Structure 1
Amino acid sequence: MSRLNPEQDWVIHDVPELRIVTDALWDAVKRRKKEIDATPAVQGIRKSRFWEKKRSQHLLTGKLDASGNLWLMRDHRDSLPTTGGGDHGEASRVLECR
């Protein structure tokens, strides 16, 4: 198990020649981020603390791909078959995803 070293043991050096963003651009982005963070929408999102709430489970959560194909869980050791019906309404075609 890896652990962080204590902060007093950290060695930190400023190496400006390795920067890929200029200081002016960095400062402008930080200012813009502060402006965005101060908006009522962002304040409301932070106040709601949505990330601490558990999402409800739905019947097909995690079982459909982007095209609407249903992932069939069969006993295939090295592949995962899907129905290839998609928006055609047919489930006769089966794809093997490895």
Structure 2
Amino acid sequence: MTQTVTTEDVQRVAELASLELTSEEETRMVRDLNAILGYVQHMNELNTANIEPMAQVGELAGHEALRPDDVATSLRRDAVMAGAPETDGVFFKVPKVIER
């Protein structure tokens, strides 16, 4: 398999995501991403001519959903906000994390 993701690609994505990666992490990301792309390429080579397309795995005949989709009560807003370090009563207030 030829390498399709480069260190420059990883650095650019890390910059866009405001991530700081060490050189070891960059090397590992290049290796891992290329391994994933290689696996996807392998999957693309499989013969799926007789396989019906589906949008959800739950569409498989004879299979039930992973869990029932039951309505349940959630936490009360006033109880949750009481434990928040800073709130306006409706939303959590958080410090700004994007600096550019």
* TM-score normalized by the length of structure 2: 0.28
Structure showing greater Rg = 1
Of the two structures, which has the highest relative contact order with CA contacts closer than 8 Å and spacing of 6 or more? 2
